[in-house]
Every structure is written in C-alpha cells, then in structure tokens.
Amino acid sequence: MSRLIVFGATGSLGGHVLREALAAGHEITVVVRTPEKLPAEARTRVSLHKGDLSALGPGEVAELVRGQCALINCAGLVTEGQRFVEIISLLVAGVEAMPAAARPVCWFLGGAAILDIDKSGRRGVELPLMKATYWPHQANFERLSRSGLAWSLLCPGPMVEQPALGLNRLRVSLDRLPVHVPAFASALPGPLLLPVFARKIPEMIVPYADAAALMLANLARDGVMARHRVGLALPVGMRGKKDNWRARRRKSTPQ
C-alpha cells in the first residue's frame, strides 16, 4: 500500500485511477474543485482537499504533496493550451520545492504525439497540423526533462470508456511509438509522414482502465519507466474506435 495524491480525480482518467487505487488498498488524497463530482462511495475513503489547482502556488502544492509516495496528475487537457502548461509547471515547481529525499514519484499525462516515431527522433507533434493542438505536450515534456523529479509521462493515443484488456495484453514502449512504423517512413518529409502516423492512431486507442492500471503498477522510484515517455498500444492486429471520444473529452472535468 502506498500514499498517493491524485489531481484531476473527477475526470475520465482520474476517476479510473481513483477507483483502481482504492481497490488496491492505497491511501488516497485528492484535490478537486467540486467534491460532489466524486463517486459517493469514494468520498468517505479519501483525504479530500477542495480547491482550484490553478489558484495554488508552488509552496501550497508542496504542502499538499508532503508525505506522499506518489503523485498522479490527470488534471488539464491539451486543448486548454497554455493553461495545461501552467498546471504542469506548477506541479513540477511544487515538488521541486521539496527536499529531494521527500519528493514523490510523479506520473503526468501526455499523448502519442510526443513519442519518437522512428530512429530519426521525429515526433508527431512536429508534423504539419499537429503542433497547433499538441504543442503543450512538447512544452510539458521539456519542463519535466529539466527537472530533477522521478517522473514518468504516460503517452497514449485517444482513451475510451471500454472494458480493460489487461496490461499483459497491451504493447508498452519507452520513448518511441509502441506500434510498427514501416522503415520507409524515416525517409518521408513531414507532409507525407503525417498520414502514416495518422493510420497508426487506431492501434493506440486504449481503455482508460488500462492506462490507469499501468501508472498504478509502476510507482517505483527507480523503475524502468522512470524519466521516460511511456507509449501504449492494443495487441497486434487490434484497432480501436474512438466512439464518442470527442464528446467525452468536452464533458471530462480537468480537476
């Protein structure tokens, strides 16, 4: 059992993290703007702090995080642009303000666009049309890389509300896309590489439940995922569907 603090516990991914963490017997602290959005059965089982994360300072974040074994951030959406960058920067600064020995392991959320596509090191975020939306992932990754935190950056494709497949079935990668990209793609210019990248997205549409399980299964400070971007993909031959993914994204609550 570990002591965990979860930001964004009322959102789609955060809700799964909360439920799975409680089921595993972890001691949970949550920071939310609207406690009423927490499942009723969870409210009496967590340490609850009501507040707007964006209104806190680094010192206040450090106080909230003090004594925790791990920090899992599910707050913020890439479509919020600069606000998402500011949330990550605030959390990083708060943990940096703590003595190194007291800092928790930290999980943050990115996206498949920040993973290396091939050995060239090119990323989806660098491709035409992608940067306009996904640039916050790049900014957040750069901020984490400059820090001394024991961080991991989860980088799935779109996530969906579907039954978990189980981590033993998923493809998991470090820093590169978890799917096969044809060798010829390395020679393609950006405009031609974009459709190759786009065709791989359905292989990386994973259930929220599996994404939550992966983070909770990797809370060791010196684990293999420490200071890495972590990709997730469906089993070979399987392709997911986004269903009402866009609508869910609009309805999801960042804190």
The pLDDT tens digits of the residues spanning 190-209 come to: 999 999 999 999 999 999 99
Cα–Cα distance, 199 to 12 (Å, whole number): 25
**What's the rounded Cα separation, in Å, for the pair 57 and 240?**
40
**pLDDT tens per residue across span 123-159:** 999 999 999 999 999 999 999 999 999 999 999 999 9
Inter-residue contact 4 to 72 (CB < 8 Å): yes
Model-level pTM?
0.92
Smallest Cα–Cα separation from 113: which of 50, 193, 47, 46?
193
Q: Is 60 exceeded by the pLDDT of residue 213?
A: yes
CA pair distance 177, 84, nearest whole angstrom: 23
Query: Which residue segments constitute the domains of the chain, with CATH numbers given?
Result: 3-251 (3.40.50.720)
